[in-house]
Structure 1
Amino acid sequence: MAGEMKTTLNGLDVMAATQTIEAIKADKSLARFQFRAKNTWVGGGENRSTIRDFYGAGLEDDSRKVAFEFTNGEPPVLLGNNEGGNPVEYLLHALAGCVTTTFVLHAMARGIEIRSLSTELEGDMDLRGLLGLDDSVSPGYEEIRIRMHVDAACSDEELEDLMRYAEAHSPVCNTVCRPVPVKLSRA
Structure 2
Amino acid sequence: MERLEYSAHLKWDGNVGSMAKVREFEFSIDTNTDGHNAGPNPTEYLLAAIGGCLTVNWGRLIRKMRLDVRGFELEVRGWRGLDEPQLKEITYKITVFTNEAEKKIMRVKELAEKYGTVFNTVGAEKIRGEVKIVKPSP
Aligned residue among 4, 8, 17 for 1:37: 8
Match of residue 70 from structure 1: 27
Deviation at 1:108, TM superposition (A): 1.4
1:99 counterpart = 2:73: no
TM-score w.r.t. the length of structure 2 is 0.83
Aligned 8 A contact 1:112 1:153 in 2: no
1:125 counterpart = 2:80: yes
Task: Could you list the structure 1 runs, at least 4 aligned residues long, displaced by more than 2 angstroms after superposition.
Answer: none
Match of residue 141 from structure 1: 87
AA partner of residue 117 (structure 1): F
Match of residue 113 from structure 2: 167
1:46 counterpart = 2:17: yes
Deviation at 1:163, TM superposition (A): 1.0
- Name the SS for the 1:174 alignment partner: helix
1:158 counterpart = 2:104: yes
Give 5+ residue unaligned stretches, structure 1.
1-27, 53-66, 130-138, 179-187
Distance in 2 (CA, whole Å) between partners of 1:46 and 1:152 is 41
Distance in 2 (CA, whole Å) between partners of 1:40 and 1:114 is 41
AA partner of residue 98 (structure 1): C
Aligned 8 A contact 1:120 1:147 in 2: yes
AA partner of residue 80 (structure 1): G
Deviation at 1:127, TM superposition (A): 3.1
Aligned 8 A contact 1:104 1:114 in 2: no
1:113 counterpart = 2:68: yes
Match of residue 84 from structure 1: 39
Deviation at 1:153, TM superposition (A): 4.5
TM-score w.r.t. the length of structure 1 is 0.62
Distance in 2 (CA, whole Å) between partners of 1:171 and 1:39 is 22
Match of residue 128 from structure 2: none
AA partner of residue 166 (structure 1): A
Give 5+ residue unaligned stretches, structure 2.
125-138
Say what the alpha-carbon RMSD is for the aligned residues: 1.5
Deviation at 1:169, TM superposition (A): 1.3
Alignment size in residue pairs: 124
